[in-house]
Amino acid sequence: MREFDFLSRVFASNDLLPRSVTVPPGDDMAVVEIGAGNEILIAADGVIEGRHAPWGCDPYVIGRKAVLRNISDVAAMANARPVAIVATAVLPRGIDEARAWRLYEGLRDTGAAWGAPLVGGDIARTSSPDPCAPLEATVAIIAVPRRPDARYALRGNARVGDAVFVTGTIGGAWSADGGGRHLDFTPRLAVAHALDDILGDALGAMIDISDGLGRDLGHIAARSGAGIEIELDRVPISAGIAPRAGIAQGEDYELAFTVREGAEVPAVLAGVAITRIGSVVRGAPSVRVRDGDAWLDATHAGFEHESDGGDP
């Protein structure tokens, strides 16, 4: 089973949802109307030891990353701010109370630091006899619109002629040279809010880069019904990372976004570099990358969960 094949089946059922679900599955967060003119945004993400964090990792780090991944999803909506989290944990049978408490502290401290206090959840111990069963933490986050009259930067909002930008640097988050950046990063919430304030309706689509720049831009292309072309030599690749590999590695937790033609985007926002890397073009939904004289198809360049596993 491939992750995105399964998700495509989920998205095909979106029409069955009630009209109160104003943004259904398929974006970084779902949006639900809870009363006249009132909406909440909801998302969930998790961390599994041995998959998203190294074996033997400090449980505090696992809890922290589980929260940060969700804050990154809030950022990708632009017009959203986090307000609370709930969490569930699956503990290995042999875990001691000190390690379990470290997980709780990582969840609690990180949520509080981002204005999203931990307000509940559930805890269970696995019944697996495997002494190497992983520690797992899943976080669901609740957010609200920053401005009730403003729209969200949904993946389907890109238009032909838009410029394509990324924040920060891409690639190397899992490498030793990258310092394990994927375990302790700064979600680009302040950057997203600044872009929302500066650009308004000129801000098109946005996504956080978790599965790889190529694959995540592919989600925007698919939802927007347009092609995306990027110049590889413009992509700000982390030092020591081969550019073609960098756009497929994932776990960057930067933002990729599109902006209407002619709109001005600052080179730095909230202390983070903003780089134009390409354009939205007419054509079949795909991501094409120019590397010198060669054109590469990067639509599926990135990580995808498969039944046989593999490294993130």
In the 3-class helix/strand/coil scheme, how is the chain assigned residue by residue? CEHHHHHHHHHCCHHHCCCCEEECECECCEEEEEECCEEEEEEEEEEEECCCECCCCCHHHHHHHHHHHHHHHHHHCCCCEEEEEEEEEEECCCCCHHHHHHHHHHHHHHHHHCCCCEEEEEEEECCCCCCCCCCEEEEEEEEECCCCCCCCCCHHHCCCCCEEEEECCECCCCCCCCCCHHHCCCCCHHHHHHHHHHHHHHEEEEEEECCCHHHHHHHHHHHHCCEEEEEHHHCCECCCCCHHHHHHHCCCCEEEEEECCCCCCCCEECCEEEEEEEEEECCCCEEEEEECCEEEECCCCCCCCECCCCCC
Among residues 93, 118, 144, which one ends one of the domains?
Answer: 144
Q: Are residues 104 and 82 in the same domain?
A: yes
| Average pLDDT score over residue span 189-216 | 97
Q: What is the pLDDT of residue 182?
A: 92
Q: Is residue 191 part of a domain?
A: yes
Q: What is the pLDDT of residue 231?
A: 98
What's the pLDDT tens digit per position in 147-158? 988 899 999 999
Q: Is residue 99 part of a domain?
A: yes
Q: Are residues 274 and 185 in the same domain?
A: yes
Q: Are residues 138 and 163 in the same domain?
A: no
| Residue 86 confidence (pLDDT) above 50 | yes
Confidence band for 12, pLDDT divided at 50, 70 and 90: confident
Q: Is residue 307 part of a domain?
A: no
Query: 0.85 exceeded by the pTM?
Result: yes
Q: Are residues 122 and 171 in the same domain?
A: no
Q: Is residue 130 part of a domain?
A: yes
Q: Are residues 139 and 258 in the same domain?
A: no
Q: Are residues 131 and 7 in the same domain?
A: yes
Structural domain boundaries, residue 48: 3-144
Q: Is residue 30 part of a domain?
A: yes
| Average pLDDT score over residue span 8-35 | 85
| Residue 93 confidence (pLDDT) above 90 | no
CATH number for 237: 3.90.650.10
Q: Are residues 221 and 172 in the same domain?
A: yes
Q: Is residue 310 part of a domain?
A: no
How many domains, the chain? Answer: 2
